[in-house]
Every structure is written in structure tokens, then in C-alpha cells.
Chains A and B, each alone.
Chain A
């Protein structure tokens, strides 16, 4: 028996995209034909899965090779900042190029292109974020936090905190405490 089919490619593509992204539990928007947006930050592994799922349908994800490298860089930096012990003793640039298998120069250019900030600034931002968490858990004093995050002194830590946020660590701590008190009362 021969039969004839009529199909709507757009509809099929959309359906496949939806199914695959649902499978990975992503929150997304399909913006017209050939373009979708993932509305959260996605780990490099998840992106890889999405690529291979879609590849099975002959759909290729284009234009995100750079974003994948950037995501891997971010993951590596965050992992590094959150390491409890054995912080890398080598320079950060060689640590990242070894881990990501790209030259640091290439990697840092791509990073700045995509994120509008430099790897160096991103590391500082992440360290300060980590410091904020530690400040708010109240378990360590500023000197211990500085030491934990590999700052040479607590003065260096305070300076970098102030340069990044515009506030001293103690002002930051006071403000968040006052804010929480208001939340509790209301």
C-alpha cells in the first residue's frame, strides 16, 4: 500500500524541541522558527545532553559553542571558589587552561565577548559572593573568611569586598541583618 503524507515541518520541530527540553526539565521559550531561549542558567552537561538528543532528530544547535565554553569556565571557577581544601596552588590561568583544554588567551577572549566581563572580574565576583554567604552564616569572623578564601590578609579581603560592592563587610552584615529583622516583623 502506498500512501501520501502532508506534514508541517515547523510543527514537528517545535514538538521535538518541546519534548526534549521538557525531558531535561528546562524552562524555555520557543521564539519562532529556529530559535529558542532557555530561561535559566544551564550546566554544560545538561546542554551537552540537549545537543545529543536533538542531534538524534537531525537538529543541530548552532551558535552556542562559545556559550558552552563560557559555561564550563564559569562552572570551573565556581567549583574552585567553593573548594573547601586544596585550592589550586598553580596560577588560575594555567589551572583553567588545563581544565578546559583551551589556551587562556582564547578562553578569556570568548568569555569577555559573551559575558561582558573578564574572567578575573568574574572570579572576584564569585569570591565575594562566597564571602557574603560565609558572613551571613555567622560562623566565621572576617579574618577567618579572608583566610578561607585565600586572601593574603583580612585588610586585602576588606578592600576587595569594598571595591566590588561599595560596602565594607561589616556594613553589609549590618544591612542584611536589619533587613531580615524587618521581614520577620512584617
Chain B
């Protein structure tokens, strides 16, 4: 049971950011399986496909063309079948107001995009590890809030 893979989904329109993200996850201890999409429209198309494995964690960039992170958050939160997905907002902005709004609208994690790779690895490792504890120890997801 403990060697299960964590399914991760990332929605980010920046090519470099997607690449760094994947590289960073490859280097952390917990095994992950990553799928990436380039904006909110593609994200919802993906989630609504029949028979997909729902991600354990979804990382959402706030600023994306066509459909941004906040709209996605709202839509995903209104669907009952997505209630077990932990949602991590992944953004360059870190204003207190943005952070609080995201949490109030149902995000579980708020990540200020780190500027260097080592820091990114650290942050992602923390998020995945804590999420893993929620997943395996039956902790209460409703009050799972983490800001890094």
C-alpha cells in the first residue's frame, strides 16, 4: 500500500515551468506520476474524460490564457466527484489577499513559485509529503490548509 504512486496533475501555460516542475518531482523521494496540461480549458476537458485516474493533487497556475486558475478552482469545487482532489494553487503572486481568497474558495495549498530549482524541490517535496499523510492517515481534508 505504501508504495503506491501519487498522481499529480499540473495546469500551467509556461513551458519552462512545466519542465522544472516535472524535473523537481522526479528527484523527490515519493514516487509520482505527472500529467501536465497547458490551460484551464484543457484541464477541465481532461478531468471530464471518462475513466481517467483522478489526481491526488492538482497544481493550478493562477494566470493562464482562456481559463485561469480561480475559475478552474470554482468549477472543480462545485463537482462532488472531485471532492477528494487536493488543490494546490501555484502562483507567482503571494499577496495575503490572493492567498486568503484562494483558501476561502476551497484551495488546500498555496505555493508561491520558487525562483530556484533547489527551493522548488523542497517546496514540492513538502506539499507531496504532507498530502500523503492526509491520504494515508485519514486526516480531515476540510481543514487541510498549507501555505508555502
A residues adjacent to B (C-beta < 8 A)? 37-38, 40-41, 64, 67, 70, 74, 114-117, 122, 125, 129, 132-133, 136, 165-167, 171-172, 174-176, 178-179, 182
Contact = CB atoms under 8 A, between A and B. Distances in A.
Given A41-B136, A125-B130, A166 B103 contact: no
B93 to A, nearest CB: 15
29 contacts: A40-B138, A41-B136, A41-B138, A64-B1, A67-B1, A70-B2, A74-B137, A114-B2, A115-B2, A115-B132, A115-B136, A116-B29, A116-B132, A117-B129, A125-B133, A125-B139, A129-B143, A133-B140, A165-B145, A165-B147, A166-B110, A166-B148, A167-B145, A171-B100, A175-B103, A178-B100, A178-B104, A179-B104, A179-B106
Interface in B80-117: 100, 103-106, 110
A175 B148 CA distance: 16
Contacts of A38: 1
A131 to B, nearest CB: 10
A41 B137 contact: yes
Instruction: Give the 3 A-B CB pairs with smallest separation, nearest first.
Output: A166-B147, A41-B138, A175-B103
Contacts of A166: 110, 145-148
Contacts of A41: 136-138
B30 interface: yes
A38 B133 CA distance: 16
A176 B133 contact: no
Chain A contact residues: helix, strand, loop or mixed: helix
Contacts of A171: 100
Interface residues of B, number: 25
Contact of B1 (A37, A122, A129, A165): A37
A116 B30 contact: yes
Contacts of B137: 41, 74
A64 B2 CA distance: 9
A64 B147 CA distance: 34
A71 B103 CA distance: 31
A110 to B, nearest CB: 11
B145 A115 contact: no
A165 B30 contact: no
A167 B144 CA distance: 11
Contacts of A136: 143
A8 to B, nearest CB: 27
A182 B104 contact: yes
Nearest to A177: B104
